[in-house]
Amino acid sequence: MLFRSFSHNSLNGSIPASMAELKKLEILKLEFNNLSGEIPQELGRLDNLLAVNISHNQLIGRLPAGGVFQSLDQSSLQGNLGLCTPLVAEPCKLNVPKPLVLDPYTYINGNNDDDDVPAVANPAVSMRHRRFFSVSSIVAISAALVIVLGVVVVTLLNISARRRIGLLENALGSICSSSTRSTGPAAGRMVVFGPRSSLRSEDLVGGAEALLTKATELGRGVFGTVYRASIGGGGTIAVKKLLTANIVRYHDDFDREVRILGKVMHPNLVQLKGYYWTPQLQLLISDYFPAGSLHARLHERTEAIPPLSWADRFKIALGTAKGIAHLHQSFRPPIVHYNLKPTNILLDEKCEPKISDFGLVRLLQKLDKHMISSRFQSATGYMAPELACRSLRVNEKCDIYGFGVLILELVTGKKPVEYGEDDVVILIDHVKVLVEQGSAVDCVDSTMGEFPEEEVLPVLKLGLVCTSQIPSSRPSMAEVVQILQVIKAPL
C-alpha cells in the first residue's frame, strides 16, 4: 500500500487503530473531514509513512510519538478541535475522565455506622445549599446570555459599518480609476522595484525600443519573447516583451499586478527587477542566467557540457518544490504558476533552480480560445488533465501536476511525450508500467552515472502521485517538500 486519500469525503468517527497494520503505507491524506477523537498512537510505528495530512477535522489530543508525526508542518495539522502541538493556534484538549465528586452533605461527618444508609444531618442546611446553587446557576446562565447577545449585536453593527465603508470605497475607486484610465501615461514609463535593485532607470536612457534593437532573442513562449540585453556598466539583463493582445489594457491595472510579482523574493524564484510600459509595448525586466534552462541541460546539451548528476537533479527538484510552495503559501490568494515546465526553470552556476514566468496569468484580461490553444500546444504533457474538460480555473493543483511530470523528466531524461516512427510514448504511462512491474530502475537516465536507488525510486513514485488524474488526490507543494526532505534524510 503506497497512497491512501480520504480527503473531502465527510468521514466521521475516530481514526481506526487498525490502519497501523498497513505497513507499506507512505502517504495518508485525511484532510477536510469530520474525524474526531485522538489519533491512534499505533500510527507512529509506521516506518514507511512519509507524509500525513489531518488538517480541518475535529481531532484532539497528542500526536503519535514516533514516525513522521513529529516533523509535520502547520498546514498538515491546522483546523482541528484541539491537537496538542505548538504549531496550531487551537487550545490543547485531552480525553481525560472527570474526577468523581461526592456531596459532603450526604453523610454525617463523612462516616455512617448504619450499613451505608444516608442520614441527613441538617435538612435546613441542605435546602439552603441546594437553593444557593440553583440561584447561582440562573445568574450565570443569564450573564452568559447577555454576553452572547452583546457580541452578536456588536458583530452585526461592525458588518453593517464595514459594508457601508466598502460601498463608499468602491464608488470612490471607480471614480478615481475612470479618471486615471482616461488620462493614463501615453509616453514610456520605466519602473524599478526596490532601492537596492542593481537596475537603474538611467540604464535604459536610450529607450526600450533601442534596447530591444541591440538585444539577442533567447526564446518565445505563450506570454511573449525573451531577450538578452546589455545595459550601462557592462551588466546583462533578461527582458520579456509581452504579447499585448491579451494583456490588461490600463496602466494602473498592469502596475498593480506587476508590483505584486515584484514583491516575490525567494532563492529559487527569478526576482522581477522592474517593468517598462506604454499602451503599445510592455516589458518585464529580470536577472539574466547564462547557464540556461533545465530543458537545455536535459535535451540540448553539447558534449562540452557534462550531464547532470543525481545530486544536481535532486537539488533542482527540491529547490523547484520550495519555490512553488512559497508562491502557494505566502500569498493570498496564492500565486499559481500555471505554466511549470523545464523551459521556465533556469539554472545558476551551482545548478540551483530559478523559476521564471510565475504569476503572468494575472496580467491577462481573459483566456480566449487562441490563448488556450497556444498554451496547450506549448506545454504538451505538462498541463493538468482537468483543464482540458472543465472551465479554465487556475488553482494550485495544476502546478502539482506539472511538477510531477518535471521530476519524472529529471529522473528519466525523457520528454513527457516522445514521438517514434510507429508509436507515441507517454512518459507517465511508461514509468507507471515499469514501477508496477518492479523494473523502475530501467527507466532511469543512464547519463547521470551512479545513483542511490533508495532515493531515485521514491522520487519516481512521488512523481506518479503528483500526476494523479484526480486533483484532490495530489499532495500540496508543502507536502511535496516534506516528502523530498524525508527521502534525502530518512527518519
Cα–Cα distance measured from residue 149 to residue 249, given in angstroms and rounded to the nearest whole number: 49
Cα 440 to Cα 147, 309, 419, distances in angstroms: 64, 18, 21
- Find out whether the peptide bond into 333 is cis, omega within 30 degrees of 0: yes
User: Which ranges of 183-250 would DSSP assign to H, the alpha helix?
Assistant: 208-214
In contact, 11 and 34? CB cutoff 8 Å: yes
Q: Whose grid coordinates read 505554466? A: 339
211 backbone dihedrals φ, ψ, rounded to 5°: -65, -45
Cα–Cα distance measured from residue 457 to residue 444, given in angstroms and rounded to the nearest whole number: 9
DSSP secondary structure string, 345-406? EEE-TT--EEE-STTGGGGBS---HHHHHHHHHHTTTTS-GGGGTS-----HHHHHHHHHHH
Cα–Cα distance measured from residue 133 to residue 175, given in angstroms and rounded to the nearest whole number: 63
241 is in an annotated binding site: yes
- Binding site per annotation, positions for ATP: 241
Give the residue numbers of the binding site: 241
